[in-house]
């Protein structure tokens, strides 16, 4: 589904605020003359940036955009200083009428407020743990984008708070409840980030890992695709298969993300390795560097499992979401590419009757394990399974 449908006069050039919106949201332009009911239904927010002088045009817009959507989901951005068009927009029942001198950031803030309101409506009645984690994730996604574009350090306190909130939400309400809530987020990129972090943190709990390792997994999952913030949204969220050129652009994101983390002052090498290497395979057929098993760290192997599973089970414009069993079947065919022991444990978690996210499971006997991932120890090796007293 589109985030924003931008309705313009046919001859008008694409506005600066449209470019600002397209940096972080999925935006499609349509001329006022060719607007259809299907266009309107396909978008969460409608931005009118067109003349409202002719009564026939006004009547047609009123017929295509229902009263409720004009009131709640539509913004009118004036094309000039003519007050008459703004009055007509207000007469149509559009409550968000913005003059032409408002900045792109102002307009983007109004759009975001509508998108967040819609998400908040979906979250109503869900547990406070899920609501808090979604809110943290939304803030993190927003601040990561700002930091990357401005070449500023990433917000470590927001990353940590989001990771801890997701761990708590999956522990309290189960992975199924978390994934169900995440699917309503308007941004596919943010949805994927939160989905991977939920799958990763739940897996850490299933393995009985130390809390610091579980939070580390969640942080690495939240940051695994940070390099995609440098890639145009038109490529990143394209409705359909990528061209070879677009695929090459996408494939730069692990290295770009790792470089950005190092440049921003992040000194956690385990997370940086996970960001750089989460598309590497144990048999050396992955990218960007074709690393083999001995070079791929245990944390990275966990992030890779969570990332692949999330990608397979998420709905995309060009494919339906796979069931958990379908996704596991495909992952099971990737012999030699994924860590077989970790995949067996991951599969056990997914197929558990309650899709468990409780601490315990694989590492249940003897209590919670000592931290192991930051030291590069495999959690299923004898040395990685030392237990806390």
Chain region(s) in the chain for CATH 3.40.50.2300 = 2-112
**Crossing angle of helices 188-206/156-182, nearest 10°?**
90
Question: Is the CB of residue 143 less than 8 Å from the CB of residue 195?
Answer: no
Which CATH code of 3.40.50.2300, 3.40.50.150, 3.30.70.1560, 3.50.50.60 fits the domain covering 2-112?
Answer: 3.40.50.2300
Using 50 as the pLDDT threshold, list the residues of the chain that sit under it.
356-367, 389
Q: What is the pLDDT of residue 357?
A: 44
Question: Is the CB of residue 40 less than 8 Å from the CB of residue 69?
Answer: yes
Going across the sheet that includes 43-49, the strands are 27-31, 2-8, 43-49, 74-77, 96-98
Q: What is the pLDDT of residue 20?
A: 84
Question: Is the CB of residue 262 less than 8 Å from the CB of residue 248?
Answer: no
Q: What is the pLDDT of residue 311?
A: 94
Nearest to 183 by CA among 169, 168, 198: 198
**DSSP class per residue in 347-374:** HHHHHSTT---SS-GGG-TTSSBPP-TT
Q: What is the pLDDT of residue 354?
A: 56
pLDDT tens, position by position, 73-129: 999 999 887 788 999 999 999 999 999 899 998 998 899 888 877 666 667 778 899
Q: What is the pLDDT of residue 328?
A: 97
Decide: helix, strand or coil at residue 27: strand
Q: What is the pLDDT of residue 318?
A: 67
Q: What is the pLDDT of residue 117?
A: 78
Backbone angles phi, psi at 3, to 5 degrees: -80, -45
H or E stretch covering 111? helix 104-123
Chain region(s) in the chain for CATH 1.10.3210.10 = 125-385
Q: What is the pLDDT of residue 386?
A: 58
Provide the whole-model pTM: 0.75
Q: What is the CA radius of gyration of the chain?
A: 23
CATH superfamily of the domain spanning 125-385? Hypothetical protein af1432 (1.10.3210.10)
Q: What is the pLDDT of residue 187?
A: 74
Q: What is the pLDDT of residue 360?
A: 38
C-alpha span between 40 and 315 (Å, rounded)? 21
H or E stretch covering 137? helix 128-150
Q: What is the pLDDT of residue 22?
A: 82
C-alpha span between 171 and 308 (Å, rounded)? 22
Q: Which residues contact 199 (CB under 8 A, 6 or more apart)?
A: 175, 179, 221, 305, 306, 309, 310
**DSSP class per residue in 236-297:** HT-SSPPPHHHHHHHTTHHHHHHHHHHHTT---HHHHHHHHHTT--TBS--SSS--BGGGS-
């Amino acid at each position: 589904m589109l985030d924003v449908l931008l309705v313009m006069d046919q001859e008008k050039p694409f506005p600066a605020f449209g470019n600002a919106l397209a940096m972080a949201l999925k935006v499609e332009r349509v001329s006022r003359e060719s607007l259809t009911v299907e266009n309107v239904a396909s978008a969460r927010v409608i931005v009118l940036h067109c003349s409202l002088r002719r009564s026939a045009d006004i009547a047609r817009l009123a017929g295509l955009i229902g009263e409720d959507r004009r009131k709640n989901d539509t913004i009118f951005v004036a094309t000039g200083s003519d007050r008459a068009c703004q009055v007509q927009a207000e007469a149509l029942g559009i409550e968000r009428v913005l003059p032409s001198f408002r900045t792109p950031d102002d307009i983007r803030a109004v759009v975001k407020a509508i998108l967040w309101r819609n998400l908040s409506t979906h979250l109503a009645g869900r547990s406070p743990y899920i609501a808090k984690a979604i809110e943290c994730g939304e803030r993190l996604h927003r601040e990561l984008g700002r930091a990357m574009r401005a070449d500023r350090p990433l917000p470590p306190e927001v990353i940590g708070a989001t990771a801890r909130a997701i761990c708590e939400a999956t522990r309290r309400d189960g992975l199924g409840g978390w994934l169900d809530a995440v699917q309503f987020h308007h941004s596919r990129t943010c949805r994927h980030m939160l989905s991977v972090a939920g799958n990763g943190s739940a897996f850490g709990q299933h393995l009985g890992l130390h809390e610091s390792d579980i939070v580390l997994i969640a942080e690495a999952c939240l940051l695994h695709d940070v390099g995609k913030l440098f890639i145009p949204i038109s490529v990143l969220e394209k409705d359909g298969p990528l061209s070879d050129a677009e695929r090459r652009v996408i494939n730069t994101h692990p290295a770009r993300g790792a470089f950005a983390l190092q440049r921003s002052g992040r000194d956690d090498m385990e997370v940086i390795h996970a960001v750089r290497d989460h598309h590497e395979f144990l048999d050396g057929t992955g990218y960007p560097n074709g690393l083999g098993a001995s070079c791929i760290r245990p944390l990275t192997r966990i992030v890779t499992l969570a990332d692949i599973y999330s990608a397979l089970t998420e709905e995309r414009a060009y494919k339906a979401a796979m069931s958990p069993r379908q996704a596991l079947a495909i992952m099971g065919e990737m012999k030699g590419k994924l860590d077989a022991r970790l995949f067996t444990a991951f599969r056990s978690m997914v197929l558990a009757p309650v899709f468990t996210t409780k601490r315990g499971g694989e590492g249940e006997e003897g209590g919670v394990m000592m931290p192991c991932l930051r030291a590069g120890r495999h959690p299923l090796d004898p040395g990685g399974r030392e237990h806390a007293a």
